Structure 1
């Protein structure tokens, strides 16, 4: 007491669910009278609230780690497809509260065609990450079962999502990269997701806005469509989630414009360098969402 100058003190333990994690100490240096019963009750209440806040913070961080680990383990190794290059990356949200359901997938189907997927389950919590896992696995299963157009695969998936125990909604682009006339073509359908971006070798950029329909899980049964575009040598297709274009500080159109401008500027870069520099230049500084990016290139 002589060192601190405190003449009277009140100490209350900070209790967690399973253990004491600290203590609150209040001291008086100028007044000599002891703390009253009301003072001690107030100190105990402060300590109780502090313990509750610490427990919630620990639980919150544990949930964030579980969700992020789930996402990272579900994101696949990209397959090797002769005549094509692929790169992908996932960047978690900077804010723990925004752990979500963004994912990408790429696989070779039974007929040798490459399937590409980018998707986003609505929500930003562990439930969204769990829903993402289910939707991702069901889509891969349906795509590999029968050689069907992307629209029919997503129609099957939409019906399956409606039967899930927990209500789930998701946006998805599913595409097939097919041989055509000695080259390649992209056949895709879009369930409410931001449109893929096609960039030619000369820098011309085009958003693939055709074949757009409702997101999965709405309960509405509307016909889905397919669209096809040829992929010339040297062309690049970008599949991305909305965290790359949305920001509180600018309109969505501004994000899309920035996306296409930077993609055109970097099109001459090797694909690995392209992905790193593209993310660094396009992702909004005030973005609070996670980002998934899948890039396909037909070598020149």
Structure 2
């Protein structure tokens, strides 16, 4: 009996070692897929440091790039699943979308619709949510935020005076559900010096509370710390998020240039 128990324990230990090895390899795989440097309007974000996800591997992804000298496009999304297959699907989706983003004349809803048709035609990517946002100048000291949501959380906008607001809308269908259903664009004016926050629901989900409670806490947290530099601001949100960390999470922040002042007329 002792020998049998020892053999069973040995198999369990081997299985645990194999599981941890597979998880480490999967995390390394996803780390290679996450963009190393994201070009935003004001800054370049460093590559992720430390664990990408709180204990699980998933399909959360993000990207940001300048599609013109003064126009920034940012996207965040979540592929259904928590394994290496979700990470591979995330890579496919992100790279297909990146190719579409350079068409500045297409609206966010048009780009998501084209992405949805392409994914369903040539891939087996599972259901995916995404929020695609574009920031472009609308006049002196004001920017236009144009975004479309495929079943994803909307952005949070924080004005220079620290007022944070969740841009609540009824999201369209996730990608991979029905390409025949139209997608919509949403517009919101953004003052110079404002901060745009895109995030996945893993940042606000908590098993014992409504997701609305987590969202309210995240909005309050973002408004309280919006004065911080972007890198410290994002770190604060990931360190103090209101979720119970049972899901993977991602957060991306973009800040519009501050308005020129009389003392510095060349500021941009």
TM bucket (normalised to shorter chain) is 0.7 to 0.9
2:206–2:242 contact (8 Å) kept in structure 1: no
- The answer as to whether partners of 1:122 and 1:128 remain within 8 angstroms in 2 is yes
Match of 1:162 in 2: 120
- Shift in alpha-carbon separation, 1:198–1:66, aligned structure 2, 3 A: same
Does the aligned pair in 2 maintain the 1:110–1:147 contact within 8 Å? Answer: no
Structure 1 residue 201 corresponds to structure 2 residue 164: no
Deviation, structure 1 residue 198: 0.7
Question: Residue in 2 aligned with 1:35?
Answer: none
**CA distance in structure 1 between the aligned counterparts of 2:205 and 2:32, rounded to whole angstroms:** 26
Alpha-carbon offset, residue 273 of structure 1: 2.1
Cα distance in structure 1, aligned partners of 2:90 and 2:153: 17
Q: Secondary structure at the match of 1:289?
A: coil
Q: Report deviation, 1:60.
A: 2.1
Are the equivalent residues in 2 in contact too, given 1:211–1:227 (CA < 8 A)?
A: no
Please give the alpha-carbon distance, in whole angstroms, between the structure 1 residues aligned to 2:54 and 2:8: 27
Distance, in Å, in 1 between the alignment partners of 2:242 and 2:24 is: 23
Alpha-carbon shift at residue 112 of structure 1 (Å): 6.0
Supply the distance in 1 between the matched residues of 2:191 and 2:45 (Cα, whole angstroms).
18
Partner in structure 1 of residue 101 of structure 2? 143
Q: CA RMSD in A?
A: 2.4
Q: In the alignment, is residue 120 of structure 1 matched against residue 78 of structure 2?
A: yes
TM-score (normalised: structure 1): 0.76
Whole-angstrom distance in 2 between the partners of 1:218 and 1:250: 28
* 1:219-298 superposed matches below 5 A: 219-284=178-243, 286-298=244-256
SS in structure 2 opposite 1:282? coil
Contact 1:150 1:226 in 2 (8 A): yes
Shift of 1:47: 4.6
Does residue 133 of structure 2 align to residue 172 of structure 1? no
- Give the secondary-structure state (helix, strand or coil) at the position aligned to 1:123: coil
Residue number among 73, 81, 90 corresponding to 2:32 in the alignment = 73
How far does residue 116 in structure 1 lie from its aligned partner after superposition? 0.5
Does the C-alpha gap of structure 1 residues 146 and 166 become closer, same or farther in structure 2, counting only changes over 3 Å? same
Which range is displaced more, 149-158 or 210-219?
210-219
Measured in 1, the distance between the counterparts of 2:9 and 2:122 equals 39
SS in 2 for 1:118: strand
Measured against aligned partners, the alpha-carbon deviations of 1:210-230 in whole angstroms (never above 9, x if no partner) come to: 372011111352100111112
Q: Does 1:92 align with 2:52?
A: yes
Asked if structure 1 preserves the Cα contact closer than 8 Å seen for 2:73 and 2:132, the reply is yes
